[in-house]
Copies of this chain bind each other. A is one copy, B any other.
Amino acid sequence: MCEANAYLRQEGKEEMFMEMVDKVTPGEDGLVLEDIFGRRKIIKARIAELALVDHRIILEKQE
- For this chain, the copies found in one complex come to 2
Residue-wise, chain A 6-23 has the 8 Å CB interface mask toward B (1 for contact) of 000000000000000111
CB of A43 closer than 8 Å to a CB of B:
no
Number of A positions contacting B (CB below 8 A)? 21
- A7 → chain B closest CB, angstroms: 14
Q: Is the CB of B23 within 8 A of A51?
A: yes
CA–CA, A51 to B24, complex, Å? 7
List the B side residues contacting A36 at CB < 8 Å: 53
Residue among A2, A48, A51 with the most chain B CB within 10 A?
A2
Using CB atoms and an 8 Å cutoff, list the residues of chain A in contact with chain B.
1-4, 21-26, 36, 46-53, 55, 57
